[in-house]
Structure 1
């Protein structure tokens, strides 16, 4: 009887010991599991830019670059070049050029370096690294893969007239499979935006294509008190890209 009693006490002591150890280790195991989830959730998306004529990580490139991906442009509702200025530090878009007030004729100012004349700008525009002379060309790219705004002298990579910086719009490359999408946006002031795109492969590993079209229309926000009436600030754009 004494032996049975001693065995019972020993079994109870062991049970209490293992229970205490399990209770002590449970918070540590739970914390380790939560840390693993946090580490997985904190992964930073890698963005590649071609600011120096080759693909590099935005996190490691030694150039002051503001890069907006196609998803960023859609999420932030960027429609025109002026919207880029609201997303980029030190970037100003002006409609004043040689006495004109036309959206198709604009000047860019980066880091406060304003051009002395329209002939010699301090900030130049590029599409896939090719220079363009008008903001209309940039606006015609309806669904770019990325917009890179480089601040600081860029003459080594983009040539002259880039003393203050450069703006490079990168076109989206076609997918290797057939796909397409249709989007519609409605808002106040009769704001309407319609966009559709389709892409695919015509000849495997040789020929692919991508076609997109977009229409944007918005009434002005100010009433014209003149004889003709109407509203001021109307905006309308229709574009197609192949």
Structure 2
């Protein structure tokens, strides 16, 4: 019987480990993750599916040192920096397809057609502007290729919760014109009943639709066009003013019934787009990025009591 040489075994172990390279673009250029002197986490689309992540709020809840919250105090917090309850400012900026979702409502954006997500912790205002003092969540979308591919998914749960989503992409003209489409829609009846009219008091409805277009007129010139439409309607218990005398000791069975004199509703819509141009010279690349986003949010005040 012979004993293995520890030095040889250790060398064989080192040779068998290949971590590979992870490319990130969070600093506006493509870099190897191990070469970036910053705290960065990268989450792949496979990991998003395994974690059952549906939106940005759920994503950040799976990340260390960063937290997403909903309801009255919606927003994203990190390292002691919190969103303002008086304004729409948020210490973490969310980018989707290169478009900044600058206010705190970005927590509700659905996560669909994602290639990977880059989470940068720490001040990034020098590159991304004043609202990025806490960090960046950069959602990188999948780019269509010559081969057509796609997926369809659906879920059903308690309180008539339903979710449907799809994505499809491919080449309309090989190597020249590419198209990608994706979308999702969900609804939930909720569990709180308004005894004044018998309707549910915390139902939710959401949908979004996205488009990716890639045009390659020449081997050196590339045009990318991205667009997205998002709608959210939320009747949430978090928007209710609970009597101070009951705050902290009200049970779920008691909260299940409420009397609302006026509808309690938050409606949020946003549309965004991006135009990216890239020309590859012999020794350098010239790029241009133009983005657009328009958002609306309306709240219906409510008066209620238990």
Structure 1 residues 62 and 219: CA distance shift in structure 2, 3 A: farther
Counterpart-to-counterpart distance in 2, 1:138 and 1:205: 35
Aligned partners of 2:70 and 2:107 also within 8 Å = no
Q: Which runs of 5+ in 1 are unaligned?
A: 1-23
**Structure number having the greater helix percentage:** 1
Q: 1:229 to 1:59 in 2, by over 3 A?
A: farther
Map 1:1-242; keep pairs closer than 5 Å.
24=1, 43-44=18-19, 46-95=21-70, 101=72, 106-116=74-84, 117-118=86-87, 120-134=89-103, 135=105, 139-140=109-110, 142-220=112-190, 222-224=191-193, 226-242=195-211
TM-score, reference length from structure 1: 0.69
Query: How many pairs does the alignment contain?
Result: 206
Distance 1:159 1:201, change over 3 A: same
Structure 2 unpaired stretches of 5+: 212-306
Contact 2:163 2:185 (C-alpha < 8 Å) held by counterparts:
yes
Q: Which has the higher strand share?
A: 2
C-alpha contact (below 8 Å) 1:140/1:240 kept by paired residues: no
Q: What is the DSSP-based 3-state SS (H/G/I as helix, E as strand, rest coil) of the residue aligned with 2:59?
A: helix
Q: Is the 8 A contact 2:41 2:118 kept in 1?
A: yes
Q: Please give the root-mean-square deviation of Cα atoms over the aligned residues, in Å.
A: 3.3
Summarize deviations over 1:30-85 as a string: whole Å, max 9, x none.
xx99x979975x54464322121122233442111232221111111111222123
CA 44–234 in structure 1, closer or farther in 2 if over 3 Å, else same: farther
Q: Which has the larger radius of gyration?
A: 1
